Structure 1
Amino acid sequence: MRTTLTWHGHSNFQIVDPAINICIDPFFEGNPSAGSTIESIAAPDLICVTHDHGDHIGQTVELARASGCMVAAVVETAGKLMHLGVPQAQIVNGIGFNLGGTMVVKGAAITMVQACHTSESGVPVGYIITLPDGFTLYHAGDTAIFAEMALWGQLYAIDVACLPIGGVFTMDPRQAAHACKLLQCDRVVPMHWGTFPVLEKNTRAFARHLAEIAPDTALMEMAPGETVVLEKNPDTCGCHDG
């Protein structure tokens, strides 16, 4: 079995690996760009929630209760999810975890990192997910660009970064291209665009800025519902010098 990444639209991704099935921000109902339904996806082992906004928490509670999977979230958001009906036994660490922390679930290391945004509970976060074979994916959540992204490029060899490009509520295409330069990521999947009228309509501007600002990062453009195979770049190793 090969490791795959599916984009379900907006910031909703699913990583299916031989060891673990991970959903990130499972926003299906009310998502006009959703490429799938909650009933059609393979049951996850883990849900990672980046922050407490409806278009990111999405159907976390329903999916967790139906599948019995674990849920990763910052402590205060984890508490809210328990209040909404996720059993405490299904919350990673029993209470969630916090910025800088790493929890291992079925062999995958889930590291919680900061995001620059807002949240109705807790703080917004991103995740650096290192799969058992070493493949590393960074999901930024909703965020503005911030200089500390360069640290992730020094600490981790990021194979794929999922970055918002929509503007208005997050980075715009030019800022996201600069984020790729800071992260030193091999590939980037643009997200959080096209879902609502106010957001960036397509990825053309991002592609142009990426070619100018971070030409070493390859654009992985995905359509909602599309699945791609994830393979580690053979030219990269476990971490960058830094």
Structure 2
Amino acid sequence: MKITYYGQNTLALKIGEFHIIVDPFITGNDLAKDKVNIKELKADYILLTHAHQDHILDAEAIAKNTSAVIVSNYEIAMHYQAKGFDVHPMNHGGSWQFAFGNVKYVNAVHTSSFPDGTYGGQPGGFVIEGEHKNIYIAGDTALTMDMKLIPLRTKLDLAILPIGDNFTMGIDDAITASDFVECNKVLGVHYDTFGYIEIDHQEAKRKFYDADKDLMLLDIGEAIEL
């Protein structure tokens, strides 16, 4: 499994022969827009954690270019189905065996509305079991006790957690979240994009190190393999 970071909560996953884009927000991100050409991105599926603009901005353009299936909560899926896109609706606690692996839609504590203010369903995260590696994409969320349910079902190889604070968990809560999901290998997301969520990288890494955990902060376009 290969994971490439494109800023904010945008990820490209390559699982076997399949390409998955998560929460595409590139053209509106000053940190990413000149480094990533969305027309060159490959996608068989697009996973959306919720409807906020900094998670869906480029979903339509990428789906038009790739014919990707948009996977999200029921309300978001129906929003895009009405526009003619192929979708797969999910809801909290449900799982589905996709071609690339099993996906479970799990709880997140946040809000969810489209840029025009219309209802975007309830936010969520994804637990993906694919290619003998398991990852948790938390999406935008507060620290929640529901995270303790995840390791009861799935042993994680990587937890992808928001760390920017203000709108989501910050560093200290993300450390606790990694305890809850029983995964000490963490990829930090949702930081630095706006002034509200700028972080001190060295302090963040030090806090995770002191807790005997590994925090990865990738450059835009940088990838890791599990």
Aligned residue for 2:96, secondary structure, equals strand
Match of 1:108 among 82, 101, 125: 101
Instruction: Label 1:138 to 1:167 Cα distance change in 2 as closer, same or farther (>3 A).
Output: same
- In the TM superposition, 1:158-177 aligns within 5 A as 158-177=156-175
* Alignment-derived partner of residue 4 in structure 2: 6
Please list the CA deviations of residues 24-68 of structure 1 after superposition, one character each: whole Å capped at 9, or x if unmatched: 001111112224221232x21110000010000121111112111
CA distance, structure 2, for counterparts of residue 19 and residue 113 of structure 1: 25
> Which amino acid is 2:223 matched to?
T
CA distance, structure 2, for counterparts of residue 104 and residue 70 of structure 1: 14
Alpha-carbon contact 1:158-1:186 (below 8 Å) kept? no
Alpha-carbon contact 2:106-2:126 (below 8 Å) kept? yes
Alignment of 1:225 with 2:221, yes or no, is: yes
> When the two structures are aligned, how many residues end up with a matched partner?
218
* Alignment-derived partner of residue 53 in structure 1: 52
> Which amino acid is 1:103 matched to?
W
CA distance, structure 2, for counterparts of residue 58 and residue 80 of structure 1: 14
CA distance, structure 2, for counterparts of residue 78 and residue 46 of structure 1: 12
Alpha-carbon contact 1:163-1:189 (below 8 Å) kept? yes
> Which amino acid is 1:219 matched to?
L
List structure 1 segments (4+ residues) > 6 angstroms apart after TM superposition. none
* Alignment-derived partner of residue 65 in structure 2: 66
Alpha-carbon contact 1:64-1:86 (below 8 Å) kept? no
Please list the CA deviations of residues 53-88 of structure 1 after superposition, one character each: whole Å capped at 9, or x if unmatched: 0000121111112111111010011112223x242x
Alignment of 1:187 with 2:180, yes or no, is: no
Alpha-carbon contact 2:9-2:55 (below 8 Å) kept? yes
- In the TM superposition, 1:7-156 aligns within 5 A as 7-34=5-32, 35-41=35-41, 43-83=42-82, 85-87=83-85, 90-92=86-88, 96-120=89-113, 121-131=120-130, 133-156=131-154
CA distance, structure 1, for counterparts of residue 65 and residue 98 of structure 2: 19
Aligned residue for 1:126, secondary structure, equals strand
Q: Which runs of 5+ in 1 are unaligned?
A: 231-242
Please list the CA deviations of residues 122-173 of structure 1 after superposition, one character each: whole Å capped at 9, or x if unmatched: 0000000111x22111110000001121111222111111100001100011
Shift in Å, 1:186: 4.0
Alpha-carbon contact 1:194-1:202 (below 8 Å) kept? no
Aligned residues: percent identity? 29
Alpha-carbon contact 2:24-2:57 (below 8 Å) kept? yes
Shift in Å, 1:16: 1.0
TM-score in terms of structure 1 length:
0.85
TM-score in terms of structure 2 length:
0.91
CA distance, structure 2, for counterparts of residue 86 and residue 7 of structure 1: 28
CA distance, structure 2, for counterparts of residue 54 and residue 86 of structure 1: 20
Aligned residue for 1:148, secondary structure, equals helix
